A and B are shown apart, each in its own frame.
Chain A
Amino acid sequence: MSDKQVELNEHGHELLAWSDDSRHDVDEADHYVLMADAIRDLLIEKGVIKAGDVREQLEFMDSRSEDMGARIVARAWANPDFKERLLANGTEAIKEFDIPMLDAELVVVENTNEFHNMVVCTLCSCYPRTILGMPPDWYKSKTYRSRSVNEPRAVLKEFGTDLADDVAVRVHDSNADMRYLVLPLRPEGTDGWSEPELAKLVSRDSMIGVSPATEPATEPET
């Protein structure tokens, strides 16, 4: 560590602990509210960022959601040729969707009756944000990060996912800037469905690999 890094870690965070500061009579809950506003105001005042930057970024993030990933999965289910290209090179294959991929490349892994894939990032919380939106809290939790790699079947059970004993689990610890997307098994009874119809069965959790895709609702008997 550089001297500056040591100083930051040893003393800097004390300075940032405003809730202990008599000048700011705030409780713990407001600590980070104040901190984020103070840093934003400071950056704008110093001309480091413009006021519009933060708003623009929030709008961009709002435009990301798991719908993007669901469209990719639905097309792979409906179109064997696309599926083949997607599994061979995810980054190239999704170019036809015009989805920006930020800092990462995409690797798509297919669930079969033999193997179930799930994705974790044990070292931080790497996640394919551009196609799934912001990660859920559980994905970033210490629990999911610590347990997924060595007791995946128990973790899956907590999501209500009971795999057959003969299905092996492949856990992808996404520790580099390759982003993993699980291609879940296509539910039975969806032959001939259109891509938009199929996409409705593709949940976020099924693309992280902690749940299967949603079963189609059975038609009520008439």
Chain B
Amino acid sequence: MAMDMERNILLLVWFVCISTIYFLVPRAKAHEFVLCFLVCQAVGWIVEVLLVQFDLVAYPLREFPRASDLNISFKVALTPVASGLYYIYRPRANKWTKCFYFAVWISLLTLIDGMLAAKTELVDYVHFHWSLMAILYSIIFLSVRSLASWFFGDRKSFQEGSE
């Protein structure tokens, strides 16, 4: 019975992610979104592997229990979509707005992760604290942003890089 709730949550994650991509990503921003999405899964993979390797976090209920101890949905759907949305809707106004916007996203993700850890079997903090998760999310988001800025920064080299 309890297991059903976790499976529903995983399904909900995929549902929310796919509908978010469909409805909230404008065509003109699609390239930025896709790049952030892909960078985030690459960085998130390393982070997740290290977390599990050093016994900090465990994912007792996961999609491929025989294949790995990692949770695939969070790594390939939830965090990448969040970082993509963060990047395409980021404000360019002043420093404080940017800081606030960043903090809101990190808090939201940390809250989701913390709730999942507290209430469900999906995430289990073994030797861990939610504040460390917030730091990790910040590292992921900052690396996504800096790589994306580099990628889209120099417009001229773009034409050569393409077909």
Q: Do A and B bind each other?
A: no
Task: Please list the residues of chain B having a beta carbon within 8 angstroms of any beta carbon in chain A.
Answer: none
Task: Please list the residues of chain A having a beta carbon within 8 angstroms of any beta carbon in chain B.
Answer: none
